[in-house]
């Protein structure tokens, strides 16, 4: 697990979360899963509308995606900071859990395991770009940001590199 220091919230922060679309039943399911993180991070997600609204969720957005931690503060208030491609109120519980825990992990400032400076992964740059452009519809800049960029160990708070961590797959 890797946390990007640059985008870390303060301990005890309460992050307001709102929905730009989707049904109340889906909102309830997402909120319930997202709150799982409160057991592991000193952060609260507030879905009541009483806290500063920093995480804004859009469904049917064509991709699963989230801003990384405090990066969410740099986007206009009417813009979403978290997107879901296909979950809906009748999606299976494991499916909702899988994508919601993943994206809310990003909202806390967590990044994909392949960014670990000690991963030992040596991407074939040209083929990696080619692959993600065709498989995920990424632009070259997207591939740079989501796959190829490198971090120094002092930019991060992390456990040891975990090769069994969830793999980078399309739109995660
Ligand atoms: Zn992801």
pLDDT tens for 19-39 read 999 999 999 999 999 999 999
Q: Which residue has the tokens 């989230």?
A: 66
Using the mean position of ligand 1's atoms as its centre, give its distance from the Cα of residue 66 in Å: 7
Give φ, ψ of 64 to 5 degrees: -100, 125
169 alpha carbon – ligand 1 mean position (Å): 8
Q: What is the pLDDT of residue 68?
A: 94
**Per-residue pLDDT at 166:** 65
Instruction: Give pLDDT tens digits for 107-120.
Output: 999 999 889 999 88
Report CA(68)–ligand 1 centroid distance (Å).
Answer: 9
Q: Residue 154's pLDDT is what?
A: 87
Cα-to-centroid distance, 76 and ligand 1 (Å): 22
Query: How much is the average pLDDT of 59-68?
Result: 94
pLDDT of amino acid 73: 96
Domain ranges of the chain: 2-110
CA dist., res. 86 & res. 76, Å (int) = 24
CATH fold for the domain made of 2-110: Collagenase (Catalytic Domain) (3.40.390)
How remote is the CA of residue 113 from the centroid of ligand 1, in Å? 9
DSSP string, 27-71: HHHHHHHHGGGGGTSS-EEE-SS-S-EEEEEESS-SS-EE--GGG
Half-sphere exposure of 88 (CA within 13 A, CB side): 4
Paired strand residues for 19: 57
The phi and psi torsions of 120 (rounded to 5 degrees) equal 75, 5
pTM, two decimal places: 0.89
Return the pLDDT at 169: 47
Judged by DSSP in three states, 13 sits in coil
Q: What are the phi and psi torsion angles at 63 (to 5°)?
A: -160, 160
């Amino acid at each position: 697990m890797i946390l990007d220091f640059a985008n870390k919230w303060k301990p005890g922060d309460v992050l307001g979360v709102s929905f730009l679309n989707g049904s109340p039943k889906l909102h309830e399911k997402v909120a319930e899963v997202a709150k799982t993180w409160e057991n592991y991070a000193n952060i609260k997600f507030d879905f009541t509308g009483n806290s500063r609204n920093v995480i804004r969720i859009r469904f049917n957005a064509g991709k699963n995606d989230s801003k990384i931690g405090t990066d969410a503060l740099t986007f206009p208030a009417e813009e979403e900071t978290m997107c879901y491609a296909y979950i809906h109120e009748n999606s299976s519980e494991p499916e909702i859990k899988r994508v919601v825990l993943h994206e809310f992990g990003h909202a806390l400032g967590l990044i994909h395991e392949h960014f670990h400076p000690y991963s030992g992964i040596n991407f074939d740059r040209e083929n990696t770009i080619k692959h993600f452009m065709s498989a995920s519809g990424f632009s070259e800049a997207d591939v740079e940001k989501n796959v190829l960029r490198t971090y120094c160990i002092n930019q991060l708070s992390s456990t040891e590199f975990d090769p069994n961590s969830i793999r980078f797959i399309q739109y995660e």
